[in-house]
Amino acid sequence: MDLKTFLDEKVAQYNQPNFIENDPIQIPHLFSNKQDIEIAGLFASVLAWGQRVTIINKSKELFRLMDNQPYQFVKYHQTNDLKSFLKFKHRTFNATDLLYFIHFLKYFYNQYNSLAKAFEVESQHITPIKEMLIKFHHLFFSLADSPQRTQKHISTPERKSACKRLNMYMRWMVRKDKNGVDFGIWEHISPSILICPLDVHVERVARKLKLLTRKQTDWAAAEELTNNLKVFDPQDPVKYDFALFGLGLEKF
């Protein structure tokens, strides 16, 4: 069996509705409103450090503080409503970071109706995702009171980061197929420009399969892996994230 056939079979195995229940993507799947999905997806991906069970539980804890109406909360909350957030913490993501995220989202959604606008650059169908992530980072920290410490939670290719969590978020929002795991609600962005999220499972399997040779785990490595996956499917290379991640869970 050649590598493409093998990976295609693994995509078919893991890109299924039952994948959702044990993965952080279950968090945005709790919602049906577009803006709720965007906000829940952003937080779930940013909090995606460590064990999946913990990530899911901390995300649910966060949205309970928003009465499970994230869009309504970020847009219409008052200062007094933020007191209950002061004790929230997940690894190095603390209340300072959380309050700034909420502040930015309120500012943004008072101007635009979709977070996709924060990533948009001219000619987005042919513009590399790199430019979109750089734009988002600059915009996110453009408010006067942005904390320096929070910058580590929104990575950027400008600092050579692999941007694992943001690339995962983009996959969730952009990819769309009949299986219903990814959302595909940002239809103006082509899946062909996405970059594969490079987490520890994906990296290990990609190296074993000779899809990744670069020693550093950085933006160039994520591009190398994605370019090799494009050989198998140039229109939707990041679907192979399912295969590589699933093989990682199998201890392949």
Half-sphere exposure of 53 (CA within 13 A, CB side): 0
216 secondary structure, DSSP code: S
Instruction: Indicate the angle between helix axes 95-109 and 34-46, nearest 10 degrees.
Output: 150
So what's the pLDDT on residue 123? Answer: 67
User: Domain spans of the chain?
Assistant: 3-249
Across the strands, what pairs with 90? Answer: 93
Distance CA 141, CA 70 (A): 21
So what's the pLDDT on residue 125? Answer: 61
Distance CA 200, CA 203 (A): 5
- For every one of its 252 residues, what pLDDT tens digit does the chain have, with 9 covering 90 and above? 799 999 999 999 999 999 999 999 999 999 999 999 999 999 999 999 888 999 999 999 999 999 999 999 999 999 999 999 999 999 999 999 999 999 999 999 999 999 999 999 876 566 789 999 999 999 999 999 999 999 999 999 999 999 999 999 999 999 999 999 999 999 999 999 999 999 999 999 999 999 999 999 999 999 999 999 999 999 999 999 999 999 999 988
Instruction: Record the pTM.
Output: 0.96
So what's the pLDDT on residue 160? Answer: 95
So what's the pLDDT on residue 117? Answer: 96
Q: How many CB atoms lie within 10 A of CB 179?
A: 17
So what's the pLDDT on residue 99? Answer: 97
Distance CA 230, CA 97 (A): 36
User: What counts of helices (H) and strands (E) characterise the chain?
Assistant: 10, 0
Which ranges of 77-163 does DSSP label H, i.e. alpha helix? 95-109, 129-140
So what's the pLDDT on residue 50? Answer: 87
Structure tokens at 186: 């940002």
Kindly list the distances between the CA atom of residue 199 and the CA atoms of 84, 125, 248, 249, in Å, as whole numbers in the listed order: 32, 26, 10, 12
78 Cα distance to chain centroid: 28
